[in-house]
Amino acid sequence: MIGSKELIRNINKNLVIKTVIKNSSISRADLSKVLGLTKATISSIVQELINENFIIETGNRKTSIGRKPTMLVFNGNAGSSVGIEVSPKYIDIMVCDLLGKPIIYKSFDYANGYTNYVKEIKECLDSILPEIPETPYNIVGITLSFHGVVKDNKVIFAPAYNNVRPPENIAESLKEIYNVPVYVCNTANLSAVGENVFSVHKMNVVSIYIRPNVGMGIILGGKLYTGNNGIAGNFGHITVQSEGKPCVCGNKGCLECYASETSVLNEISMLKNTPNISYELFSSLYKHEDFDTCKAIDNFIKYISAGIINVINLFDPEVIVINSIFTETFPEIIDKIEATVRSNSHSSCEIKLSKFNKKSVLYGANFINTINFLHLPDFI
């Protein structure tokens, strides 16, 4: 019976935290009405959460009659969180408070690849640890993002890293070093979480993440959908050309071979017979309407649009977010993609630019840390 009472109280505490966060600011009386709990129960739980530094009291709300109620807000400064994107070419780290407000952001170049993932991630993180402010709970978690298939907190397939797969025990290794929970997630999935939680706020959302590789995160019914084996959303490896270009995954004709950042730049290099076209040179060429560059982007639009039409037919999302350095720099590309999709689909699905660009992954990573720390796993 005692265990049951403790369980119910913990559930009610989590409900109070969740409701305070969702409402930004709320009174005890309104909490009681929203949750259907007695005022005495709410007062007791709120006081406990104040003592634990999770809730703070702010000013009084204006009211025409009676005593002005004291408002409650969630204390984002109770702890900090670390999100790390381990891309095939860079490591990005963002430290946030518990409400997702960025505190520190740094990027580290790894264009030549990795030799020891744990050592190199540790070197990057250790370089910014002195800048992280002390808080009552300090760092509550670290979430790592990888471009590949992730299941059970392990990277199980990651051809983008030149077949040097991150070790299966990377989460355990970093947990031993930093003594905090460490989570491993797919990059595109975290991008979808970041976009939806902090920007889109819809129940059915698809986020297409186009960087050196191509991935997709899927939110269905307000929940992140990863499939039975973690491969749902492996958008870059759908076949768009039978017997097409060989892909690092072992197949041929994958979308990633035609519509990733790397493949587009490689196509321009081939068309212009110029090795290693940089993004800066691409940008200049596209601005000046260079024929070969425009042709490569037209192909990018064609393949991505075809993929989006398939996504719409499969999932019927409310919103599709496109996260690409091409659309980030040249937003008019989104208009061309949308026009192509509209001419071949009758869906009312909105196609929009990412709000956070590649940082969406880090927003999602930090959110994962927070909901696990607060025991709110369904709070997406």
Residue 155 pLDDT exceeds 50: yes
Q: Write the burial class of residue 328 (CB in 10 Å: 0-12 exposed, 13-18 middle, 19+ buried).
A: middle
Q: What is the pLDDT of residues 340-356, one digit of tens each?
A: 999 998 889 999 999 99
Residue-by-residue DSSP string for 247-287: -TTS-BSBTHHHHSHHHHHHHHHHHHT-SS--HHHHHHHHH
CATH class of 78-191+360-373: alpha beta
**pLDDT at position 343, please?**
92
Backbone dihedral angles phi then psi of residue 99, each to the nearest 5 degrees: -105, 5
pLDDT > 90 in the chain, percent = 84
Strand partners, 350: 319
First-to-final CA distance of the chain: 32
Q: What is the pLDDT of residues 83-100, one digit of tens each?
A: 999 999 999 999 999 999
**pLDDT at position 125, please?**
98
**Angle, vertex CA 224, rays to CA 106 and CA 235, nearest 5:** 75
Lowest-pLDDT choice from 10-19, 63-72, 133-142: 63-72
**pLDDT at position 62, please?**
62
Q: What is the pLDDT of residues 277-292, one digit of tens each?
A: 999 999 999 999 999 9
Intervals of CATH 3.30.420.40 along the chain:
78-191+360-373, 201-355
Q: How confident is the model at residue 212 (pLDDT cuts 50, 70, 90)?
A: confident
Intervals of CATH 1.10.10.10 along the chain:
2-74
**pLDDT at position 345, please?**
87
Residue 3 pLDDT exceeds 80: no
User: What would the mean pLDDT of 367-374 be, rounded to a whole number?
Assistant: 96
What CATH topology corresponds to 2-74? Arc Repressor Mutant, subunit A (1.10.10)
Q: What is the pLDDT of residues 322-331, one digit of tens each?
A: 999 999 999 9
What CATH topology corresponds to 201-355? Nucleotidyltransferase; domain 5 (3.30.420)
User: What would the mean pLDDT of 211-238 be, rounded to a whole number?
Assistant: 93
**pLDDT at position 309, please?**
95
**pLDDT at position 251, please?**
93
DSSP state of 93: E
Between CA 100 and CA 362 the distance in angstroms is 9
Residue 1 pLDDT exceeds 50: no
Query: Average model confidence (pLDDT) for the chain?
Result: 93
**pLDDT at position 308, please?**
96
Lowest-pLDDT choice from 55-59, 182-186, 251-255, 372-376: 55-59
**pLDDT at position 379, please?**
63
DSSP state of 87: -
Lowest-pLDDT choice from 63-67, 286-290, 366-370, 372-376: 63-67
Q: What is the pLDDT of residues 177-189, one digit of tens each?
A: 999 999 999 999 9
Between CA 177 and CA 127 the distance in angstroms is 15
User: What would the mean pLDDT of 202-221 be, rounded to a whole number?
Assistant: 95
